[in-house]
Structure 1
Amino acid sequence: MDEAQTHYFDVQMKVSGYKHPYIDFKMPVWTPGSYLVREYARNVEAFTARTTKGGAAKSEKINKNTWRVYSNNSDEVEVSYRVYAFEISVRTPFLDASHGYIQPAAVFMFVKDLMNTPGTVTVKPYKNWNQLSTGLSQVGNNKFALKFPDYDVLVDSPIEIGTHKVLEFSVRNVPHRVAMYGEGNYDEKRLVADMKRIVEETVKIFDEIPYEHYTFIVHNLPAGGGGLEHLNSTTLQTGRWNYGTETGYKGFLGLVSHEFFHLYNIKRIRPKVLGPFDYENENYTTLLWVAEGVTSYYDDHLLLRANLVDADDYLNTATGNIGTIENAPGNKVQSVAESGFDAWIKYYRPNENSNNTTISYYTKGAVVGMLLDLEIMNSTQGKQSFDDVLRYLYQEYYKKQKRGFTEAEMQAAVEKVAGKKLDDFFQKHIYGVEQPDYNKYLGYVGLKLLNYSEGKNDAYLGAATSMSNGKLNVTSVMRGTAAYQYGLNVNDEIIAVDNYRVGENLNQFISNKKPGDKVAILINRGGILQTLDITLGKNPNASYGMQRVANASPQQEALLQKWLRLTEN
């Protein structure tokens, strides 16, 4: 990275002892944990090759991500190439004069036959950079020399290089490091203590730490956020001033909780098709509701277990998740299993109609994970929970069989712990789109779900809008609403309603109407003015809350105490 300000990593890759007429060097098209073909080869240039036999070797690109080097059975081949890295995300590499971040799938090529071969990476840092943080182990005492047992581990180990601060803590005598790139308004002592509590509570579930050291790479940025899990590390991105409010700080802790929990759930407990990976094609699974959704359930619940949020905070989050999915028309169209399978073409490529046709396997998965947890607790009188499902999957498939699980095996694991068949639940709520009877499951712990919108008769248009350059533009139209029925389109500019200019006051204008009222909406569509006569409907959105049932039974109260950690379990 000699010229970091130009955003180029210079990569040299040497292969020894692999004698063939030619060798194909390949760049992955995606990175595990982020289910979209990203075409990393688009940032590669200046590919050249040399052999020990004759110096420069002929090479040609034979498809979008493969460079063929005619090595003529040479004992050693070295290729060189450059990677442009100027997209700051957890899925892409980045380099500028302040730091370098290597997302390995986007920087390091592979040779198919050698993917199980160990190797080393030597990093030559820019100028005065003196820090390197990664999940890889170093060679000897040189922090810039790293070793890997196979290509999968290399891809699973992002590398942060620069002058960043490193915070440390230990859990069960295992070191955990936090690489903090960029300034932020965090309290070091509080942050380290709270991250440690999250790790401790997660480890309690499995009673085992399956790594020798763990690295959190944190990018403190002007804005944005996100995370990506890895085998014994994670990359987290957050706004540098988010730590200053309780909402922002707890949001970051939730991200920490989510990505750390992944080291068990998906990096070790995983759907069978997600490993070994095909780095050149989509890897389809209907089980992202487990990998991501159940993790989303646990990331919130672990904050509760760690006493970083209270029971009311947790229930508000759970209620919000229910509202999010039940108010999305796509929840009646796409099952949570389908949502995961189609992530490659839908989740990461949303458009203005996505809310009408898709559902998030994160949010829906968190909700069904919660309901299954409550079902297990009720069926076993509080002796078992979803923790036991995860422990079983960990022991049986990761440790004993050393593989991932299938759809049938996942359902069987839940049924084994619950002590009952759950075909009805899985068919209706995992593979189907039927609304769960929330009060049945919440009733197990003496709670009930209330819809505060019930009985209200508010008028509703059904179009989301935004102001841009003084114009009110339609950004989405909700299926089944008046806007949808009468043909209001995305990108229409709304000028007036009933001959009155509305601008940002559109919602206020509609709120003064009632269902069945007719309105004349003047729009600009592609430079043509036209009026749409629309009959307003009733607001279909629910506003949920939870409260305790009256006269809860001793079992309901005991399960509530256990679930919400109101007493020691």
Structure 2
Amino acid sequence: MRRIFPLLALLAALLAPRVPAQHLNWDLHEVAWVMRPAADGETIDMEMTLNPLLDRDRVVVRIPLWRPGSYRYANYQDRIKDLHAVDQDGERREILELDPRTWEVDAQGATSLQIRYTLPVTNEADEGETPAIHLRSPMTFLYTEDTKLLSHTLRVELPSGWDFASGHRPDAHEKGLFRSPDYDVFVDCPIALGGLERHSFMSHGTEIEWVLFGRLPSEAEFSREEWTRKLKAISEVGYDIFGSYPFEKYTYLFLLNGIGGVSGLEHLNSTSILVNHRGVKNGSYIDPLESVTAHEFFHLWNVKRIRPEQLGPFDYTQDVRSTDLWWMEGITSYYNDVMLQRAGLREDGWFWASQSRNFLSVRRSPGFGTNSPERSSWTVWDPDPSKSISYYDQGQMLGLLLDIKIRAHTENRRSLDDVLAFLARWIDYPGPGYSQDELQRAIYAVTGWDCEQFFDRHIEGLIDPPFAEILPLAGLDVVWIEADDPYVGIGFADEDELELAIREGTPAGEAGLQSGDRLLQIGGERVRDLDEVRAALDSAQAGDEIEVRVRRGGSTKDVTITVAERGRLTFRISENPDASPSQIAIREGLLTGTPESI
């Protein structure tokens, strides 16, 4: 009898008449897109087709306020030019701007609409070469609220000699057509267009492609064979941690341009990474490029699949906040170091030096002691330089400590690797993300360690983690020295122009200097560059008064700065040569990933 009642109830529910949900329209079944890049690489014509339409008075289209993975407001609407719409007869339809990111299109009597606009784009190629264009999809494609869950298709009409690369998957039945199950997946794919250099390799029976475009290096400057080897090594560390790849094919997009450094963004089956072309050609940016590459690849799992419930499906109309960015980004930062070490791309001692630098970065941040990891995650949308602290750095520090605590508690039978692998299977993307406190539950389920107190004190709270107690569990020594140094608090937003960047609460700020001031004199002597500034301040001692002249607007201002003292920190992690076998096993497990029980 206990089994019969649920069955009868289920049958009754299935046989009951269905009532259509309100506000659903059953006319549209997909959104069709066509892109037409101009041969000069300066613009792209965009076309969004909504067909068929039934009895609609209007269609409201939007451009996202932000893009997933980049937690800041954006002004993508500024790039949309000549927005217009035509119906099935080619007649223009009226468009009303509701707000800077939202437009209402007249649809009365229309059976289909084509919404068209032009995007100015940046040609990243060297002069005389085939144009090279990088597109971030949330700033490229419009959407409507009632079509976000519909299939989206893309056709790209390329000029002669151009190529196309992306994480978009080809349609199974129509050549040249790409299909995504919904808008979130559709705009998750960055796009490379134009002159592309393509490479690929196989890993565990799966194709991984990598694409170079922009201002390309010569083979002598950047060995493609060597980079393929490194990418394969990085990718396979991720495979070893999680036991499988969550994609049919993966695409690395590497844009070499004039960016000042390296940056990247994670996606479900691809990543786009931007790097300064000079730094690649002279070799100075290869290590940072490897680090960002490992970081974005690990995001395949941690962020794109292991994620809090509010991070997908996405609301593109407002900020989406989480207290767990320390986990999303910071644990990933810990693992980009882990991956480089286990991939054999770093020398002995590098891993501990990297963690030491990160600990120092946390301690030196203005927000240390005032912004917890959860708080810094939540307030990323409201940056305050006087209280800033990186949830990347906080999370990386916590990743190392959590990994050691888990290994010590389980006698090295379990690690943070196991927790992440469990979360990836448990959440089972595209299922919903985890809810509040389920990270703690997952750690307990995998390891038996009740980490509630650790989270309360060091993640939600402001208590400094007990690194001096935890690190020795892995056979690690810690050198921690604090000393006082003279401190003026002068920083620069533009070193060439000596334009000041002044934080509140510093001696310079208390004296009345402001960000944007241009430094002219120190101690009555003119200063023309950074070397002269350092020389003028080199002999300053705590309690000294320094006369400073700056230009503010159209006038000069003289202020007197009283030199203060600031603690100088030295923090160094090193391997204890007298560690016990159990401590050595944990330490080696961190570096190699091979679990060896004590």
What TM-score does the superposition give when structure 1 sets the normalisation length? 0.89
The 3 A distance-change label for structure 1 pair 491 and 79 is: closer
Q: Give the match for residue 357 of structure 1.
A: 387
Q: Give the match for residue 500 of structure 2.
A: 474
Amino acid at match of 2:456: Q
1:99 paired with 2:132, answer yes
The 3 A distance-change label for structure 1 pair 128 and 416 is: same
Structure 2 SS opposite 1:267: coil
What is the Cα deviation at residue 143 of structure 1? 6.6
The 3 A distance-change label for structure 1 pair 407 and 463 is: farther
CA contact (8 A) 2:342 2:593 kept: no
CA distance in 1, matches of 2:452, 2:172: 54
Amino acid at match of 1:11: M
The 3 A distance-change label for structure 1 pair 520 and 231 is: same
CA distance in 1, matches of 2:292, 2:498: 34
CA distance in 2, matches of 1:50, 1:204: 52
Farther off after superposition, 186-195 or 73-82: 73-82
What is the Cα deviation at residue 28 of structure 1? 1.7
Structure 2 SS opposite 1:309: coil
CA distance in 2, matches of 1:257, 1:373: 19
Structure 1 SS opposite 2:40: helix
CA contact (8 A) 1:460 1:510 kept: no
1:391 paired with 2:421, answer yes
Q: Give the match for residue 435 of structure 2.
A: 406
Q: Give the match for residue 469 of structure 2.
A: 440
Amino acid at match of 1:443: P
Q: 1:31-430 maps to which residues of 2 (within 5 A)?
A: 31-52=67-88, 55-86=91-122, 98-129=131-162, 131-139=163-171, 144-182=176-214, 183-184=216-217, 185-224=221-260, 225-243=262-280, 248-346=285-383, 354=385, 356-398=386-428, 402-430=431-459
What is the Cα deviation at residue 451 of structure 1? 3.2
Farther off after superposition, 162-171 or 542-551: 542-551
Return the match for 2:47 from 12, 30, 40: 12
CA distance in 2, matches of 1:249, 1:338: 33
What is the Cα deviation at residue 533 of structure 1? 4.0
What TM-score does the superposition give when structure 2 sets the normalisation length? 0.85
CA distance in 1, matches of 2:160, 2:101: 32
Structure 2 SS opposite 1:18: coil
1:540 paired with 2:570, answer no
Structure 2 SS opposite 1:342: helix
Percent identity, please: 27
Amino acid at match of 1:259: E
CA distance in 2, matches of 1:472, 1:45: 38
CA contact (8 A) 1:329 1:478 kept: no
CA contact (8 A) 1:51 1:57 kept: yes
CA distance in 1, matches of 2:410, 2:271: 35
CA contact (8 A) 2:123 2:133 kept: no
Q: Give the match for residue 9 of structure 2.
A: none
Please list every run of 5 or more consecutive structure 2 residues that lacks an aligned counterpart in the other structure: 1-35
What is the Cα deviation at residue 174 of structure 1? 0.8
Structure 2 SS opposite 1:343: helix
Q: Give the match for residue 483 of structure 1.
A: 508
Please list every run of 5 or more consecutive structure 1 residues that lacks an aligned counterpart in the other structure: 89-95, 347-352
CA distance in 1, matches of 2:511, 2:592: 50
What is the Cα deviation at residue 323 of structure 1? 1.0
Structure 1 SS opposite 2:57: coil
CA distance in 2, matches of 1:358, 1:143: 50
The 3 A distance-change label for structure 1 pair 57 and 384 is: same
The 3 A distance-change label for structure 1 pair 13 and 251 is: same
The 3 A distance-change label for structure 1 pair 499 and 134 is: closer
The 3 A distance-change label for structure 1 pair 62 and 211 is: same
What is the Cα deviation at residue 412 of structure 1? 2.0
CA contact (8 A) 2:414 2:595 kept: no
Farther off after superposition, 106-115 or 276-285: 106-115
CA contact (8 A) 2:545 2:562 kept: yes
CA contact (8 A) 2:170 2:178 kept: yes
Structure 2 SS opposite 1:29: coil
1:232-266 deviations in whole A, cap 9, x for unaligned?
01101112233356652121111110111111111
Amino acid at match of 2:443: V
Amino acid at match of 1:565: T
What is the Cα deviation at residue 496 of structure 1? 4.2
- When the two chains are superposed, the root-mean-square deviation of aligned CA atoms in Å is 2.7
Q: Give the match for residue 29 of structure 2.
A: none
1:459 paired with 2:486, answer yes
Farther off after superposition, 135-144 or 437-446: 135-144
Structure 2 SS opposite 1:250: helix
Structure 1 SS opposite 2:253: strand
Structure 2 SS opposite 1:241: helix
Amino acid at match of 1:490: S
CA contact (8 A) 1:232 1:263 kept: yes
Count of equivalent residues: 549
Farther off after superposition, 548-557 or 171-180: 548-557
1:490-512 deviations in whole A, cap 9, x for unaligned?
34444444444455333344342
